[in-house]
Amino acid sequence: MKFNLASLFAGLIFGLGLILSGMANPEKVLAFLDIAGRWDPSLAFVMGGAILVGLFAFAVARKRTLSFLGFDLKLPGTTRIDKRLILGGLAFGVGWGIAGFCPGPGLVALGAGEAKAAVFVAAMVAGMAIFEVVERTRKKA
């Protein structure tokens, strides 16, 4: 129960941050990607802030074995850049550029009732399901 409440609180803070920064608005994201037109650099500042918070958080996390709530801390086990990582990043970037959403803002916009977000979230879930099928098939082979 403690974990569920902490997850809910973290999700609410994250969603509120996305709304306040305007990042749940796909037009804002697409304006950031429009470097040849009316470019909006505000997303770069949001990303920069997230990177600074992440650097601090991972520096603290590397020194711990348990989370602040007492659960096992699971950090990424590899830093290797391989073909799967590059292809996944490219697929993510293309989807982000087409829709103007990444998963967090897409869910926030879905909660706000935006129809475009419903299509994005459905496609995202379908992509996750396809990935799972491919991974299970790959592991059996």
Q: How far apart are CA 92 and CA 135, in angstroms?
A: 18
Helix 103-111 vs helix 2-21: angle between axes, to the nearest 10 degrees? Answer: 90
Res 59: pLDDT: 92
Rounded Cα distance, 23 and 43, in Å = 7
Instruction: Give CA–CA dist 57/77, Å, rounded.
Output: 16
SS3 66: strand
For residue 33, the tally of other CB atoms under 10 A from its CB is 16
At 141, the pLDDT band (50, 70, 90 cuts) reads confident
Whether pTM exceeds 0.85: no
Q: Are 29 and 101 in contact (CB under 8 A)?
A: yes
- Are 106 and 120 in contact, with CB atoms under 8 Å apart? yes
User: What tens digit of pLDDT does each residue of 39-62 get?
Assistant: 999 889 988 998 999 999 999 998
